[in-house]
A and B are shown apart, each in its own frame.
Chain A
Amino acid sequence: MSKKLLIGLLVLVWSLAVSFGAFAATTLTFQSYSNPTEQVAQFIQKVLIPELQKAHPDVEVNYVYIPFAEYMSTILQQAISNTLPDLVYLDNPWVPQLIEAGVFQKITDNVMQDLGEDFWMDFFPGHRLLTSKDNDIYALQVHTNNLAIFYRENLLKEAGIGEPPKTWAELQDACQKIKESLNLYGLMLYAGADEAGTWQFEPFLWSNGGSLMELDQPEAIEALGFVTGLVEKGYTPRDVIGLKDQGDVTIWFMNGQAAMMINGNWEFGWHLLPDVLEKLGDVKVTPFPVPEAGMKSAVLPFGGECVGITTSDSEKAKYAWELIRIWFGEKLDEYYEKWTGHIPTLASYAAKIANKRPEFEVFIKQAAYAVPRPPMGGMDKYPDVSNELALALQRSLTGAQTPEAAFKEAAQNIKSIFTPEEYEASKARAREILEEVLARAKGQ
């Protein structure tokens, strides 16, 4: 009896101590869809959090993992029930919507005081455009990525192709040779009916001068016609419309079913790990092909993740910012060089990393011609616009509609998403960004 009482008392004292302890410290929550075993998550848990705790031993940081598929619906629930975490790490196209919705706290003063104007201006323009609004900063993009052509050098040689394709015409030519001499698919890509499908088509669209807001124009229809042609001629399997994600593209490529694929640099940290590359032995990367010879680079969308503060508690926000400052201040070298398969978002780091990780060189060069997606497609209406494009792409690739009919219908649907004034403004904005980057890409 007395033993039970003693145990009961001990439990009581212990739980009081624990709850008191937790009460005394500030506890931050860092929310992310990066699986705890992935490199970014490992960096946050093993480097960033301990570093913050060195300066502030009473601050606890919990790393919370939520799978990608449930991420936005979770944030939505949290925002409505006032249970947002303190720091959020997430995909960059979502950021404008969340800024607009008031989910992120302003960090303009923090950035300017602790990191400085020069640091902010060192971000590639697209990253600044995405994480700020009306001259206020709401988040920082921590790394970027884009798309290029991965190819199997030996297969290209066997098919009698000396140089990897640089233009659309050369790409088509290479595919034809691969099909005829090796009976393989020339180019694998992703065309699922989702944002990733749009993202893989955008380099074709934009490099050809087409705009998401003007899909009924010849430049856009021509781009769709080109990709549709790849499927019609049997250079790309029609199954690309039903893939699960861009990782599936790499599986085909690794299995030797396709000699080339469109994919992003993150694959070096996902499927194309060092042992796989060694086994395949001949995987190379070449820039995304351009519509006409002489262009310096294709115009690509950029991906990558941002980090922002979501807590409105000023005490917590102070430590949350401290964590971001350590990331971008003291630990940025280490992050880019040691921990991730990602490209820097800061111009001054780009060249440095290119020297250390040669496999990223192509992507880093292209990053200068990469633009953010939301401003190209109606900013916060981008998910809707993107969805229309992905559907039209699928209709064209399956032959349900001609490229022209598919894009005319999509253009009509996209118009109806906006009010006439909004539409004109978004169209002009996209045009402006596109013309600027196209001029640079064409070297004018």
Chain B
Amino acid sequence: MKIPRTTLFLFLLPSLALIFIFGVYPVAYNIFLSLKDVNLISYIRGTAKDVGSLNYRTVLNDSLFWRALYNTIVFTLLSIALQMVVGFLLALLFNYEFPLKGFLQALVMIPWVMPIMVSGSFFRWFLNDNGFLNNLLASLNWIREPVRWITSEKTVIYSLTAVNVWLGIPFNFILLYTGMQQIPEELYESADIDGAAGWQKVLYITLPMLRPVIVATFILGCILTFKVFDLVWIVTRGGPGGASHLLSTFSYSLAFDRFQFGKSAAVLVLMQIIVILFVGFSNRIRLEER
């Protein structure tokens, strides 16, 4: 039976409406806001003036924006690199049968099932100058002065990245592990017959066969990490002195601490541009692969 085009369109309509309401409209409205002088008063009164690119210029002149951009890049790249390496090693490990495997696998998944509110509050307490970690190191006589994990502008972003690595390992592990399960056992068996060493099997079979999964994990991970907000907001609120702001927390703080909605929208637009550039770039990589 041939279905008329109009009927087909009717079936599409609900999803098109959803995409428009939750996708196109907010993005368009955000761009509109970013070009206006929107603060609490002008927003309520409806008197926000057009200011052209002023919000963008102000934001680009703000040292906090550049700090947040730098932090976002460091945070994303370091997180992804470490999460993928550790996740891959764990996946390799769990690919073997050994006692207590199920139990240990459940342990690995803990960071993922714990609400960020809980783990974030825990790490705030754990990493303070007077926190658990410093007390532990001091009691072992490893340090005299507390290490300033989250109270120094130099170290704070790396501490937060470490926490995020811990949080993100399960995600990487589970994707890579499921990927590994799909690799036919025969490949390894024939490699055994050829007398390949363990590392050679990983290098010449596991990694190449896993490539599509690795690329997908990488891109998904980058996008998920790029927009991380809750972890940083709960542990440091972007502090001390703005030193750990990511673009997401910086934009939130502009909107809801300072009611600078126009500038906040400008930061969000810049974030979107970065994501679009990144996705375009990664698509090109994938196309070249084929």
Overall SS of chain A's interface: helix
Contact present for B240 and A97 (CB under 8 Å): no
Contact present for A76 and B43 (CB under 8 Å): yes
- Count chain B CB atoms within 10 A of each CB in A72, A194, A391, A392 and give the residue with the most: A391
Residues of B within 8 A of A76 (CB): 40, 43-44
Contact present for A242 and B43 (CB under 8 Å): no
Contact A237 B129, CB 8 Å, known A242-B239, A394-B239: yes
Residues A381-401 near B (CB distance < 8 A): 383-384, 387, 391-395, 397-401
Contact present for A387 and B258 (CB under 8 Å): yes
Residues of A within 8 A of B237 (CB): 192-194, 242
Partner of A395, one of B41, B241, B258, B260: B241
Overall SS of chain B's interface: loop
Contact present for A242 and B240 (CB under 8 Å): yes
In the complex, B169 has a CB within 8 A of chain A: no
Smallest CB-CB separation from B127: which chain A residue? A242
In the complex, B130 has a CB within 8 A of chain A: yes
Contact present for A193 and B124 (CB under 8 Å): no
Partner of B239, one of A192, A195, A399, A401: A192
Contact present for A392 and B257 (CB under 8 Å): no
Mark each residue of chain A from 235 to 269: 1 if its CB lies under 8 Å from any CB of chain B, else 0: 00111011010000000000001000000000000
Mark each residue of chain B from 118 to 155: 1 if its CB lies under 8 Å from any CB of chain A, else 0: 00000010001111000000000000000010111100
Contact present for B256 and A400 (CB under 8 Å): no
In the complex, A380 has a CB within 8 A of chain B: yes
Contact present for B153 and A395 (CB under 8 Å): yes
Contact present for A400 and B128 (CB under 8 Å): no
Residues of B within 8 A of A406 (CB): 241
In the complex, B243 has a CB within 8 A of chain A: yes
Contact A101 B41, CB 8 Å, known A394-B241, A395-B240: yes
Residues of B within 8 A of A195 (CB): 257
Chain A nearest CB, measured from B4 CB (Å): 40
- Cα-based distance from A76 to B240 in the complex (angstroms): 29
Contact present for B150 and A242 (CB under 8 Å): yes
Mark each residue of chain B from 222 to 242: 1 if its CB lies under 8 Å from any CB of chain A, else 0: 000000000000011111111
Partner of A242, one of B151, B253, B259, B260: B151
Residues of B within 8 A of A392 (CB): 241
Chain A nearest CB, measured from B264 CB (Å): 12
Partner of B44, one of A73, A103, A192, A238: A103
Smallest CB-CB separation from B148: which chain A residue? A238
- Cα-based distance from A306 to B273 in the complex (angstroms): 43
Partner of A400, one of B40, B124, B153: B153
Residues of A within 8 A of B240 (CB): 193, 241-242, 394-395, 397-398, 400
Residues of A within 8 A of B150 (CB): 242
Residues A355-402 near B (CB distance < 8 A): 380, 383-384, 387, 391-395, 397-401
- Cα-based distance from A195 to B239 in the complex (angstroms): 14
Contact present for A238 and B151 (CB under 8 Å): yes
Partner of A102, one of B45, B64, B151, B242: B45
Contact present for B43 and A80 (CB under 8 Å): yes
- Cα-based distance from A394 to B150 in the complex (angstroms): 12
Smallest CB-CB separation from A400: which chain B residue? B153
Partner of A383, one of B153, B243, B258: B258
Contact A72 B260, CB 8 Å, known A80-B44, A394-B239: no
- Cα-based distance from A257 to B243 in the complex (angstroms): 28
- Cα-based distance from A346 to B240 in the complex (angstroms): 39
Contact present for A384 and B258 (CB under 8 Å): yes
- Cα-based distance from A73 to B255 in the complex (angstroms): 9
- Cα-based distance from A239 to B156 in the complex (angstroms): 13
Residues of A within 8 A of B242 (CB): 193, 391, 394
Contact present for A193 and B40 (CB under 8 Å): no
Mark each residue of chain A from 61 to 86: 1 if its CB lies under 8 Å from any CB of chain B, else 0: 00000000000110010011000000
Mark each residue of chain B from 259 to 290: 1 if its CB lies under 8 Å from any CB of chain A, else 0: 11000000000000000000000000000000
Going nearest first, the 8 A-B pairs with the smallest beta carbon separation are: A395-B241, A394-B241, A101-B44, A394-B240, A79-B44, A400-B153, A398-B240, A101-B41
| 8 A-B contacts (beta carbon < 8 Å) | A72-B256, A76-B44, A101-B40, A101-B43, A101-B44, A193-B237, A395-B241, A400-B240
